[in-house]
Amino acid sequence: MGFDQGLSTMWTADEIAQLCYEHYGSRLPKQGKPEPNREWTLLAAVVKIQPTADQACDRSDGPVQVTKEVVSMGTGTKCIGQSKMRKSGDILNDSHAEVIARRSFQRYLLHQLHLAAALKEDSIFLPGSQRGLWKLRPDLLFVFFSSHTPCGDASIIPMLEFEDQPCCPVSRDWASNPSVETSDNLEAPEDKRKCEDPESPVAKKMRLEPRTPGGTAHCQSFGSQEKGPNPPNVSGSNLTAEELASVTGMTRSGAQVMDVYRTGAKCVPGEAGDSRKPGAAYHQVGLLRVKPGRGDRTCSMSCSDKLARWNILGCQGALLMHFLEEPIYLSAVVIGKCPYSQEAMQRALIGRCQNVSALPEGFGVQEVKIQQSDLLFGQSRCAVQTRKADSPGRLVPCGAAISWSAVPEQPLDVTANGFPQGTTKKGIGRLQARSRISKVELFRSFQKLLSSISEDKWPDSLRAQKLATYQEYKEAASTYQEAWSALRKQAFGSWIRNPPDYHQFQ
């Protein structure tokens, strides 16, 4: 067994979840957390796994003892509409927990590169084989945790007939007038999150199914991507129960697939759309999706799409690739207790891109390990709903997002609507009205790192030309851009990209 493989077997999904829940409780402030019995949120984190100090040098065949450390964390459920986007890079477009955790992780990586450049021994990086480049220590790996399946493709999963419906049935009075506008009645910008609230009008609208005269819901098979009129022959195959359900509408036990858990993420322009047929055929699986805003379309791709992208391009982004010999990949993804399908997770994160080829050296489709924990996040919609029980008032998603990074200076960042919480309209544009994980602030940290290194030790990609804007620095990361171009050409051609004029800040 390889040393890194040994590391990956020395933790469990429950241990990762518990560590993240404890970190949330002890290290994150009350500010930005959900209001008890009224609000809920989502949690995501990156956990560093490494052998204990006394085993780092001892590569015997004995069991590997590891330390697990949360190095970044994010909470949040919101997203801004495209009309709120700014060309100055000082607003967070996407504040879903997974995206906040990843941006917080980039902040951690920048700090670790600062340590490496200053020749500090406690950095996670070692000198690479080329001038100015660094590589991750071989005895480290990173695990991504999310308290819920990522929005988009990974959340489209079969719902069996004996399962509790996630939303309340719709009264016939309401059903007789389905044209009533409901989308503005909730503050949640993402219909997936709305659908998880049983009291949500949008959830009820999405659960409305035509009924036969006998009163039973129509049943249709889960949206398979098979194009022919006949379903594929599945008899005698090695399909999982969920894979069987996905093509036949029936599990081996005979339970019928009545519906799918819905995602509010919308198909991007240029992609084939959802059928929106009643029941299990409502969604088309495997598609790129964009997070819907509250009455204002967003330009933010779903978290399923972003995780799939990170699984090929790495989590470091274009800027940090200037300093790295190889991308920083996640070794595993752990999901908390929630509606879950292993098949949907594999499809969304790996399967859609598994045939992407001709990538630059160091890049590749990763066989990320995907697991689910049995531990429920205490601030999740489901947990809060259970505690709330019969207490009055509507349950709503928390409007704030919290970012935490394992850095010595100002590790915390609490935002609302893309700006630090408490920012007034008059204050927007000032330095103090910038999140520490906004594009412009991460770019500033990158420039600070660059200025701390003597120019003769800069990597070749930064020495070849005079660069000024955020866009120019991103484009100059040639291997990253080559990999991103290959991914778009072969799998993600409809990916929504921000226009270049949104990246011209310095």
Kindly list the catalytic residues.
Answer: 98
Query: What is d(CA 223, CA 472) in angstroms, rounded to the nearest whole number?
Result: 42
Size of the chain, expressed as the number of residues it contains: 506
SS3 assignment, position 67? strand
Report the sign of the C-alpha dihedral through residues 91, 22, 199, 157, in that order.
positive
- DSSP codes, 210-245: -B-TTSPBP---------SSSPPP-TT----HHHHH
**CA neighbor of 433 nearest in space, from 445, 416, 409:** 416
Instruction: Tell me how far apart the alpha carbons of residues 120 and 111 are, in angstroms, rounded to a whole number.
Output: 11
Residue 258 burial (10 A CB sphere; 0-12, 13-18, 19+): buried
CB 379 within 8 A of CB 55: no
User: What is the distance in angstroms between the CA of the first residue and the CA of the last residue of the chain?
Assistant: 47
What is the pairing mode between strands 77-79 and 412-416?
A: unpaired
Which among 375, 298, 370, 309 has a CA at the least distance from the CA of 336? Answer: 375
Give CA–CA dist 494/412, Å, rounded: 35
What stretches of 184-325 adopt beta strand conformation (E)?
257-261, 266-267, 289-290
List the beta bridge partners of residue 215. Answer: none
Contact in structure between 299 and 290 (CB atoms under 8 Å): yes
- Distance between CA 401 and CA 74 in Å, rounded? 7
Q: Which pair of tokens denotes residue 277? A: 């047929």
Amino acid identity at 371: Q
Amino acid (one-letter) located at 361: E
CA distance linking residue 385 with residue 234, whole number of Å: 39
Distance CA 212, CA 367 (A): 45
